[in-house]
Structures are given as C-alpha cells and as structure tokens.
Chains A and B, each alone.
Chain A
Amino acid sequence: MLSRTADNLYWLARYVERAEYLARILDTTYRLTALPLAYVGASNEWESAVATAGCASAFFAAHSEANEETVTEFLAFSTSNPSSIRNCFETARVNARAVRTALTIEMWDTINSAWLELKKWGNGPRSREEFARFLRWVQESSLRFDGSAYRTMLRNDAYWFSRLGVFIERADNTARILDVKYHLLLPAHEKVGGPLDYFQWAAILRSVSALTSYHWVYRENVKPWLVADLLMLRDEMPRSLASCYENLVQNLDRIAHAYGRQGPAQRQARAVRARLQNSRIAEIFPTGLHEFIDDFVEDNNRLGTAIAQQYLL
C-alpha cells in the first residue's frame, strides 16, 4: 500500500481518537466545576483541562485567562487551535478524503456525516445543555467510526495502520492525564481519602470511562495508587497504557508478518510492553510516578517516529 495512504489512515484514526479525548476532558471538567468548591479544592480546573489537552502554551498565547468560555471555545470550536475538536474532525475528513478508496463506505459515511453535522453547530452551542449534547455527539461519532472500522474493514495493512493510530494516540492521552494529575495521586497531597481527592480521582477515572470498571477490578474505595495501577498497568482496562501497548505490539506484528520483515518499530513496541509488564505499582508509586510517566511519553513518541520512518515516509 502507498506510504501516504498508510500515513493518512494512521492520522485519521489519531484525530478521531483525539476529538473523543477532548470531549471527555471537557465533560469531566464541567462536572468538576459544577461541584461546590469544598469538594474539589480551589484549583483552576479549566487551566488543568488545557494542560491535559497538551496545548497550554498555545492557549495562553491566545488567552490570558482560563475559564469556561475561553477553554470551551479553544478546545472545542477554535479554528486557530489545530487540535480543537472542530479541527480534529476537519483534519480527519481531509485525511479520509485523501484515502477514500482505502476506507469502507461506512467509515467514510461516519466521518463525512460528522463533518457535515459539525457545520450545524456553527461557532458553538448557546447553552450548557446544548454543549452537553455536543460532547455526547462527539463521543458517539468516535464510537461509530471505531465501530465501523472494526466491523467493516478488511483485516489487512490498512486496518492495522489505522489501529496503530488509535492506540498511539490513546496511550499518549492516558499518559497525559496521569502527567497532569499525578500530584493528586501522590499520597503526600492532602490527606488521603478526603472528599477533595475523591472527586478528583473519580474525575480522572471518568475521563477514561473507567469509574465503573474500577469497582469491578478492585472492589475497593477509590485509592490513588489503584487508580494509577488501573490506568497504567492493567491490560484488561482498554485505555490503560498496558492495553494500548498490547494492541500496538499485536498490530505491528501482523504488519511485520504480512510484509515478512521486522524492524525498529516492532522492537520499540515490545520493549515498552515488557517494561509495563515488569513494573509493579507499589514500586513506582511512592517515588517514581512522575519519572515513569515522563519516560513513557517519550517512549511513546519514539514509537510514533519509528513507525513513521519504517512505513509512512
């Protein structure tokens, strides 16, 4: 397959995944800011949302203050922020148009309809109710896209490259939540188990739709180290770093098998997976959480580069 086609499929999947992630961040931020201050502390949740979205410097170049209005506009509807939800869909569709022939009609239909529908939202919803509906719609669009890929694509390199995009992006997003919120997870912060932490942790879990899963996995109250464990090392949790790498290794292996050749990307993915498999949360948690996440983000970027060099350029 053309390298450019693979590249477009990869980025198409990444942008759709990113749009969903942004919608989740905004959704949880709304919930947190709706709580009385005593439950969540005095931190600026809107600022934290911008940091979690990974665009703090771009945001503060355009706005002096992070509040509901500025952050919502910037993360959801801005035309100048290349990673706003609007631009994610816009870029996803440009990529989709460029590889129409590699997409199934269902996938094209999903992404094209989402793009058409987005126009109806104009410069943004006028009320919180409308905005909530918008966020649900973004998540549903992403689910439809993912679902139609899963159900309709031939299992060949086109599918595998699009999966690589999903999991690289997802791993990056989960790591970013942990990176911004790690100070809350650390035991030194506040007194453990206080209401303030509880709602913050619940918000973290909710942003990766893991609040219910948490209880099924641990059958305990929300504890910071277990939150970290779930999001990083448990491979039964679909948005955990471990699960993302399980999938990355699998899909890279399928490509290598089909092409009859292994390369740096396969080795890099396996190395990261091994590291995740060999880590125990009790060892990382008290001292090395921040470092671990930092290293992971770097490793993940390195894998992105390796995939690009091996296949996409």
Chain B
Amino acid sequence: MFDEMRGSEGVVRPAYAELSHWLGEVPPDVLDFRRREAELFFRRIGITFAVYGDPEAQERLIPFDVIPRILSAAEWVILQRGLEQRVKAINAYLKDIYGRREILKAQIVPEDLVFQNPVFRPEMNGQKVPHDIYVHVAGIDIVRVDAENFYVLEDNARTPSGVSYMLENREIMLRLFPELFSRYRVAPVENYPDELLATLQSIAPPTASAEPTVVLLTPGVYNSAYYEHSFLADKLGVELVEGRDLTVKDDVVHMRTTEGFKRVDVIYRRIDDDFLDPLVFRPDSALGVPGLMSAYQAGNVTLANAVGTGIADDKAVYSYMPEIVRFYLGEEPLLKNVPTWRCRDSEHLSYVLDHIEDLVVKEVHGSGGYGMLIGPKADKATVAAFRAKLKSDPKNFIAQPTLALSTCPTCVEEGIAPRHVDLRPFVLSGRDRVRIVPGGLTRVALKKGSLVVNSSQGGGTKDTWVLDG
C-alpha cells in the first residue's frame, strides 16, 4: 500500500515533510474547528450538488477534507506532459473518426465499437470544427499505485465537472491555513477561469466579430452541477444561459436580452449531446435549442466540447488509448492505462467470469460509480447478478484489476488516517496551445478501505497542491 505522505515503508516523503511536521504540532481540535468553519463557508456560498433520486439531498455538501494533497514539481512535470499527450491524441482520434477513419482502416480500433456505439454521432461525419479541436475541456482521472507510476483511470471528454471545487477548495484553504501556505510554495490555480476564457475565445467561428460572445449553457438550477455552472459563468464574466434564452435565426444563434437579440459565437455547453437540439437529438428535451445543430453545422457557432466526443471517452474505447496515442503521435504513452479486459471479446469474457471476485467490472456507459461491481468487496448475490448481466450483454462491460490506489492522510472520526484518493486535472485545448493549471480536483474515499471516491457515494474532496520548484 502506497501512502503519498509516508510512502510504502513509512518514511515521510520530502514533499510532505513540512505538512507532517505541522500535523504533529497542530492540536486536533483546531483541525476540527477549521473543518467546521469550512463547512459553514461552503454552505453559505451554496456550493452544493444534487443527488438524483434522493429528495432529501436536493442540495448536499461534498465533504471537504482540510489536509491538502501534495505533488512535487517533478511529479507534476510527468503528469503535465502525459496529459497534454493524451488530450492531443484524443483530438486527433476524433478528427479521424469523423473524417478519414484511418484508424479503423488500419484495424486498430474495431469498426463496430465506433459505429454501433450510441455516443457516436453520424451528424458529425465530415463536419469541420474550428482548428480541428473537439475536446476543449478535458478532465482526465488519474490514480497512482506507487511513487513512479501514474495511471489514467478514465478520460472525460464530454462535459467534465469539478473544477469549481478545485478553485473553491484553494480559496478556503488560503483563508483557513495561511500559516501552512507560508511553509510551502504552492503553484496558484486561480488563473483557471482566464485560461478557460482564452481557450474559448480562441475557437470562435470565422464569422464571429473580433470580440466573440461566449456563453455558458446550463441545463438549469436542478442540475447536479448547477453551482459550478453559475460559479464559472461569474468568473468568466459571460452570461449563464439556459436553452430557452437562446434562439436560432437563419442559422445564427441569438440570446434574448432586455435590449433585444444578441448574437452568440461560442457556447461552453454543460449539457449532454442528447439534449442539445430537440430537432436532431431527443425530441422530448426542453433543455436545448431547436436549430442549434444546424447553426453549428453551418459553422456559425462553436460548441465546446464538440458534439460526439463521447466516442473518445467511452470505457470500451479506453482500452485502446495506448494504441491511439502511438497511432497519431508516434510516441509511447507517458501515462499508463489500467489493464482492461473487454468483455466483448469472448476470451476476455471467460477470463473475467473466472476471476470476477478479483476484478472491478464497469458498465461501458456508466458514470459516477453507478453500474459498477467491485469484486473483492461484493457479496455473493451481487456477484451472481453481475455474472448474469455480463453473460446477457457482454459488450456493455469491461473489467479491470482492483488497483491498490494510493492513500493520503485525511481527517476522519478516529483522527488522521490514510484514505484512498484520485486526481482529476483539467486540460484546456485552444487554437494556440494546451493549458493545464497545476493541480486539479482530488477526490477522497472517506470510508475506511473504500475505493469509491465519487461524491454521490460518500466521497469527499481535498485541495491539491503542486509545489513550485
């Protein structure tokens, strides 16, 4: 078991030396007091998320752990290079899939995996997008098992969320623990909104004016990430719009303002493909904008991320990512992939069925920790049920070994104890370059021994510190 503070042998690692010192000095009730202060602060500013299907939890706070997670400058360099490489490959792959399809012709990714995938969007075939960028905002979930190896657990290339926690967690830490910051040089993350705005402006359609109008499209106040949407719109200084605020005339998108209609050039949409345009996708959706796709196809508006990016972050496609990186960039992937059995393959399936107690089985399209079996933790009945599901629809599943995820010191009821963590850095791709602010969202499984970090299932968050030199 690798702990990021104490390593595998119980020796405090250099990046954590000061923190370990400090944790030894600070009385436990001070930590507890600060934790409650943080909670009060989050509750007041309303940084909440909703858990669907739980009326009591319409607005729940994500537990915040006051002990930061620390990455050294050297570790960050590895991550940064690996992330940039991975997102470049994802963009090249999407351009290819909706264009010449070289990778399918070369039989590196199987055709049916693309064409029979519900997240593949035939509407995007042959569609040009500005500067060939499809994924402008990516959230890449990273885990580690030891001091050397970082694995990508999952790519999020559709509408990744969580960046508001990265920013607010840092704000609250600066407020609560100024003395700790004086002992470290922590790289700032507060410039994320500026970087995001620069990215969004850089991909405006050619027909836009010199100062393109950017908006953030939200499904509305009942969406689980609504707080983040309003937070980001505020920091970006752009309008937070809902579908009903927009209208399409002559293939140009406009928003309704108190002074009449105003043209919109770039839409940072936080709403899924399915709901974007009832004329093209789900006809029953009231969240989207009729005619939006036709404006998009006419090249009069840029959607960030592009439509159809799900074909890159699908869990079944995930297992091909190392090949995808090699194919487009001619480089060895810097970040590892977790070994993955594709149940669509009959040999893999029989291996998975034989070893199901040792594996994590995931639904290809699942997210948020739902539709997932953690073999070693599941009871017999659950395993049997999953076995049946697997046999009836093998294509819908992949399996991975249970990784011994790294742990970080965390405040829990019994005091400070190691808990498993992951990391979601955010990668911005614009016309000019790729931007990654040093840090990301660290999620922590607060239950002892638990590997599930999802906020909908009892996970919490931490501030993530990348040391500056």
Contact = CB atoms under 8 A, between A and B. Distances in A.
Contacts of A98: 220-221
A2 B241 contact: yes
A161 B257 CA distance: 13
B44 A259 contact: no
A118 to B, nearest CB: 14
B230 interface: yes
A2 to B, nearest CB: 5
Contacts of B45: 105, 108
B191 interface: no
Given A100-B230, A101-B230, A3 B221 contact: no
Majority DSSP secondary structure for residues of B touching A: mixed
Interface stretch (B92-100, B232-240, B392-400): B232-240
Interface of B: 43-46, 220-221, 226, 230, 233-234, 239-242, 244-245, 255-259
A157 B257 CA distance: 11
Contacts, number: 52
A112 B44 CA distance: 7
B46 A6 contact: no
A209 B256 CA distance: 40
A259 B43 contact: no
A94 interface: yes
Contacts of A38: none
Contacts of B221: 94, 97-98
A311 interface: yes
Contact of B257 (A1, A101, A113, A255): A1
A4 interface: yes
A166 to B, nearest CB: 18
A94 B44 CA distance: 15
A310 to B, nearest CB: 8
Interface string A144-174: 0000000000000100010000000000000
B56 to A, nearest CB: 12
A83 B141 CA distance: 46
Contact of A3 (B226, B230, B233, B256): B256
B230 A259 contact: no
Contacts of A311: 258
A158 B7 CA distance: 54
B292 to A, nearest CB: 17
Given A1-B257, A116-B43, A101 B233 contact: yes
A65 interface: no
Nearest to B226: A97
A3 B245 contact: yes
A60 B378 CA distance: 56
Contacts of A105: 45
Interface in A249-287: 255, 259
Given A2-B241, A4-B244, A101 B234 contact: yes
Interface in A85-129: 94, 97-98, 100-101, 105, 108-109, 112-113, 116
A109 B44 contact: yes
Given A1-B259, A112-B46, 16 more contacts: A1-B257, A2-B255, A2-B257, A2-B258, A3-B257, A4-B242, A4-B244, A4-B245, A4-B256, A97-B230, A100-B46, A100-B234, A101-B230, A101-B233, A101-B234, A161-B258
Nearest to A313: B256
Interface string A11-46: 000000000000000000000000000000000000
A103 B43 CA distance: 17
Contacts of A100: 46, 230, 234
Nearest to B244: A4
7 contacts: A2-B245, A3-B256, A4-B242, A98-B220, A101-B234, A105-B45, A113-B44
A108 B240 CA distance: 17
A2 B256 CA distance: 6
A157 B258 contact: yes
B218 to A, nearest CB: 9
A312 B257 CA distance: 8
Nearest to A93: B46
A105 B234 CA distance: 12
A100 B258 CA distance: 18
Given A97-B230, A157-B258, A311-B258, A2 B46 contact: no
Contacts of B46: 97, 100, 108, 112
